[in-house]
A and B are shown apart, each in its own frame.
Chain A
C-alpha cells in the first residue's frame, strides 16, 4: 500500500509540529515546494482555463434559458447581443420532474445504466476469459494476442463504420442469418435491436483493453503461489478462485472503474452507429449532445444541465467506489 511519504525528507505526512500561522505556512510551503508547483502549473493553467472555467460557465448556463436563438452571435457584420435570462433551477426541475421527464431523461437514464453495466460486465468476463487462455503455454499465443487486440488498434470511427456495413438491412449479418433461416432483425431501425447492436459493437471494441490489462495482471502473479496451491491439492477452480482472483484484485478494481467511466461517457460508438437517428438508443451523453448540437434551435442550457447531471452521477459513483475499496483494504492503483 502506498503511504504518503515525502520521499525527499522521509517524513510521514501528518507528523508535523504545531501549525504555524497561515501566512507563514504559505511562505514555508512556497519555499519548500515551489518547484513542484512550477511543474504542475502548466496543467493547472490549461485545465483551469479549458475545463474548470467552462465547467463554471456551463453551470451558470444551466441556470438560464440559453439556446442558439438568444445567445450572442455574429451574423455577417451584425453582432447580436445575448438575451437569455436567469431562470434558476427550472432546467433541472424540468428535466427531472417535468411532464415529459420520463421520455426525455429517465428512459435514457435507465438505458445508460443498463448499457454501462452490461458492457462492462461483458468486457470484463470476456477479457478475463481470453486473458486466462492466453496466459497458458500454448502454441501461437503471440499470434492470437496480436489478432485479438486488433479492435483496439484500429480507430473507433473506422471500425464502427465497418460494423454499419455489416448491420445494414441487407448486410452480411442479415444475409448470414437469412441463409440459416433465422429471422433477420432491423438492426439499425428497431429500438431493441439498436440497443443490442450498440452493446455488441461496444463489447467488440472494449474487450481488447480489458484482456491486455488483465493479462498484464495475470503475468505479475507469483508462480510460486500456484505451486503452493497445487501442493496443497487445490483444484483448478480453487486455484482460480483463491490465487488468481485475489492476485488480480488491484488491476481489476482499476480497469473496472476506468471501464465504467469510459463506457458511461462512450460517445463515439453510439454517435457513429446511429448519428442523430434512433432517439431511443441514445445514452445520456449522446442525447445531451443531440439537444445541444443536433437539433434546431440548439438547446444549450438543457444540454449543459444534462452534462452536469452526468458528471454528478459519475462523481457520486466514484466516491462510493473508492470508499468501498478502502473498506476492503484496497487502494485504487491509478
Chain B
C-alpha cells in the first residue's frame, strides 16, 4: 500500500465539537442540504452526459434532411423511415461486416499476443525488462501522423492496403501495448504459488500459462478483449486512409461518406450513428465494472 500521511493532530481547538447539542449524525450520512446539493449536481451532470446522445436519437426520427434545424417539427412527423432507408438502401451491412471482421480480428490476435506478453512481464524479470516496459509505454504516445505515411508505404509494399488483415495489424499495434499493461496488472494479482505448483507438477512454463493462469485470468482477458474491440471499432484515421473500396469501409468511415454521397443527408447519418451506438454501448455496460477494475488494477495497488 502507499504510505499515507495523516497529519498527527489536526487543530482540535478551532474545529472541535461544538458545545451546542445537535442531532447526532452517523458516519457517511450527510446533512439534508448536502444531500440535496449532491443530488442537484449529479442530476445536472447526468443531463449533460445524456443530452447529446438523446438529442441524436431524437433527431434521427425526423424524416427530412433539414429537420435538425427545426427540431420542434419532428414531434409531429416522427417515424423510423431513416432507419429503414439506411438498412435497405445503403451499404450499412457491408460496413458492419468490415467493422466486425476488423474489430474481432484485432480482438483475437491482440488479446492472445497481449496475454503472453503480459504474463512474461508479470512473472519474469528478464534482462531488458525495464526497457521493454518503457517501449510499451512509448508506443502509446505515437502520434497518428508519424506512423501514417511510413505505414502506408509498408502496407502498399506488402499489398495490404484495402485489406482487412492490414487494418487488423495496424490496430494491434495500438491495442496490444495497452492490453499488455492491463493484463500484467491482472496477472500480478494471481498468486505466484500457483505457477510454482504447476511447475512442481511438471508443467512447462507455457503449460502453466495456458492451463493454469489463462483460465484464472478470464475477467482480465474479457476487459482486454473489450478494450481492443472498442479501439478498433471506433478508430477513424487509419481506416479513412487505408480503406479505399467503399464495400470495405468500416462503419466509422461509412458514416462520413453520407456527407458527400447524398449531399449531407444528416437524418440518415443520425440514424446510422444510433444503429452503430446501440450494440457497442450495450456491450460496454456489460463489462464496465470489470473495465474499471482492470484499468486501475495497477493504480490502486500502489
- A residues contacting B by CB (< 8 A) are 4-8, 13, 29, 32-33, 35-40, 42-44, 46-47, 49-51, 53-55, 57-58, 61, 71, 129-130, 133-134, 136-138, 140, 144, 146-159, 161-163, 165-166, 168, 170-172, 175, 204, 208-209, 212-213, 215-217, 220-222, 225-230, 232-235, 238, 242-243, 246-247, 249-251, 254-255, 258, 261, 264-265, 267-268, 271-272, 284-285, 288-289, 291-293, 300, 303-304, 306-308, 310-311, 314-315, 318, 330, 333-334
Contacts and interface: CB of A to CB of B under 8 A. Distances in A.
Contacts of B255: 157-158, 161
Contacts of B233: 155
Nearest to B153: A57
Nearest to B166: A50
A53 B299 contact: no
Given A149-B288, A254-B298, A144 B46 contact: yes
A232 B16 CA distance: 9
Given A8-B123, A40-B117, A289-B237, A168 B69 contact: yes
A34 B75 CA distance: 67
Q: Which of B15, B145, B233 counts the most A-chain CB atoms under 10 A from its CB?
A: B145
B69 A170 contact: yes
Contacts of B140: 258, 261
Interface residues of B, number: 115
B95 interface: no
Interface stretch (B53-61, B85-93, B214-222): B53-61
Contacts of B55: 162, 165-166, 172
B33 to A, nearest CB: 13
B30 interface: yes
Nearest to A247: B4
Contacts of B141: 261, 264-265, 311, 314-315, 318
B223 interface: no
A158 B213 CA distance: 37
A175 B125 CA distance: 60
B205 A265 contact: no
Interface string B244-278: 00000000100100000000001001100110110
A75 to B, nearest CB: 13
9 contacts: A7-B124, A40-B132, A140-B39, A154-B53, A155-B233, A212-B288, A233-B15, A288-B146, A334-B137
Contact of A33 (B126, B237, B269): B126
